[in-house]
Amino acid sequence: MTGAYIALGSNLGDARGHVLGALDALARLPGVRVLARSPLYLTPPWGVLEQPPFVNAVAHVDTVLAPQELLDALLVIERAAGRVRDGERWGPRTLDLDVLHMDGVEQADERLTLPHPRIHERAFVLLPLNDLAPGLELPGQGRVAELLAALDTAGLERLP
């Protein structure tokens, strides 16, 4: 088993429901065991600013799946939630699932880069990741808690 962190986000329709549904779907994946999940956060959009706020979370899982297999499984969950990948980056979506980090895995190819190359820029990822693993060292980026401390978290709100 390999530990991995998965980012979850949604800002269309029932965003909270999409994220919670994705957590349930993740727990049902063969070869994946959800160890913990962060609280949900309401966060302002990133990249494309003219869109609704997001609901974001991070899940910590153990998996026997290889990185590409895990990514493929996440894409199936996205499609089941109505996600259409139309090439628009950072736009609105019913569900977005990203592999952030897998223990002992560093890779970069056309489909997947691990650790995720922009974690250090994204408070909406670091805040929930910090709830689960503040001491996690992301190769080439730094320790989660230190990366989060360097970012502005104004406008990020923990949901009840």
pLDDT in tens, 48-59: 878 999 999 999
* Nearest alpha-carbon partner for 118 in 7, 2, 3: 7
The reply to whether 83 belongs to the active site is yes
**Average pLDDT, rounded, for the chain:** 95
pLDDT in tens, 67-108: 999 999 999 999 999 887 766 676 789 999 999 999 999 999
pLDDT score, position 46: 81
Q: Where are the alpha helices (DSSP H) in the chain?
A: 15-28, 67-80, 123-132, 144-149
The reply to whether 158 belongs to the active site is no
Q: What is the pTM of this model?
A: 0.95
Residue spans of the domains in the chain: they are: 2-158
CATH number at 2-158: 3.30.70.560
Cβ atoms of 32 and 70 closer than 8 Å:
yes
Amino acid symbol at 154? A
The catalytic residue among 16, 62, 98, 143 is: 98
